[in-house]
Structure 1
Amino acid sequence: MSSQTEESTTPAAQNQGSHHYVLTLDLPGRVAGTWYGTVTPACDDTRHSLFVALRDHVGTENPAFARANVVFFSLEPNRL
């Protein structure tokens, strides 16, 4: 019986933030977009403050989405 080693192409957990987020915004009848990634909150951050910061960041980087409707937001610990 042989053994195989599988290499992962995903970044090591140490290189990722402590939380994973997904944010979907929609401009009805025009366009929708989804952003995702990892973030490590500061000790005084809240779920709401991270939501606002992420939404503001997307709006700054993509001005068309600055006033878009939020369709989905998830912020979860980045662990299995």
Structure 2
Amino acid sequence: MSSTTEQSNTEAEQQGTHHYVLTLDLPGRIAGSWQGTVTPGSGDTRQDVFVMLREHISESSPEFARANVVFFSLEPNQL
């Protein structure tokens, strides 16, 4: 195993178990996309993660609190 592969495995282990993409839009005003990784709790659902992400975005960017959801994806963070 090369050191590059070892480094990639270590970086992947530090990431969350799921990758998300969320795009919000206020028509005619502003749009934004967020992406990253998250590790849901053992009893969390896709809905729980979606609500958590919306709340997190609204806290840091209040203008998006009432934005339309254009796209949402939550997938296992693995190939």
- Smaller-chain TM-score bracket: 0.7 to 0.9
Higher helix share: 2
- Deviating runs (4+, > 2 A) in structure 1? 7-11
| Range 11-20 or range 39-48, more displaced | 11-20
Is the partner of 2:43 in helix, strand or coil? coil
Structure showing greater radius of gyration is 1
In the aligned structure 1, how far is the partner of 2:33 from the partner of 2:61? Answer: 12
Q: Equivalent residues in 2 for 1:10-25 (5 A)?
A: 12-25=11-24
Unpaired runs of at least 5, structure 2: none
Query: Partner of 1:13: helix, strand, or coil?
Result: helix
Question: 1:1-80 to 2 correspondence within 5 Å?
Answer: 12-80=11-79
What is the count of residue pairs matched by the alignment?
Answer: 76
Q: Identity across aligned pairs (percent)?
A: 63
TM-score by length of 2: 0.87
RMSD: 2.0
Partners in 1 of 2:75 and 2:40 — Cα distance?
A: 11
Unaligned runs of 5+ in 1: none
Distance in 1 between residues matched to 2:39 and 2:19, nearest whole Å = 9
